[in-house]
Amino acid sequence: MHQPKASPTLVPQYDVTVFIVLDDYGKNGKVYRETDEARADLHTVVTDIIEGQYDNPNRVVAFNTAEGWARDVTEDIAREIQERSQRAGEPLDGAARTFVEREIG
């Protein structure tokens, strides 16, 4: 017996954790940088900080609206950057180094 294909859901799937970075532009102020939805995940944010995509990352906030929470994950991100750098055997430089040193020493 042939079973009909399931219809795709019309309800968008928003149960994802989003990461946004507060970047410090000095005298021009601090801003939460706009981020493409596909690039607001943990891996991409860590990679972007390491690669110098932020001038002076100051804080990282994670949130999940489906689960109803938000929290400061700055120290967690700094530790992830440090661990990734150590695993790769590559030293950090620039804003990534400053960020990690400020957050975890």
Distance CA 39, CA 54 (A): 14
Please state at what angle helix 42-50 crosses helix 74-88, rounded to 10 degrees: 70
Domain presence at residue 9:
no
Mean pLDDT of the chain: 90
The model carries a pTM of: 0.83
Domain presence at residue 4:
no
Range of the domain at 66: 18-104
Q: What is the pLDDT of residue 8?
A: 58
Please state at what angle helix 74-88 crosses helix 94-104, rounded to 10 degrees: 120
Tell me the mean pLDDT in the region 15-43. Answer: 93
Give the confidence band of 15 by pLDDT, cuts at 50, 70, 90: confident
Domain presence at residue 5:
no
Number of separate domains in the chain: 1
Distances (CA, A) of 42 to 7, 29, 55, 61: 31, 25, 18, 11
pLDDT at 101 over 90: yes
Domain presence at residue 34:
yes
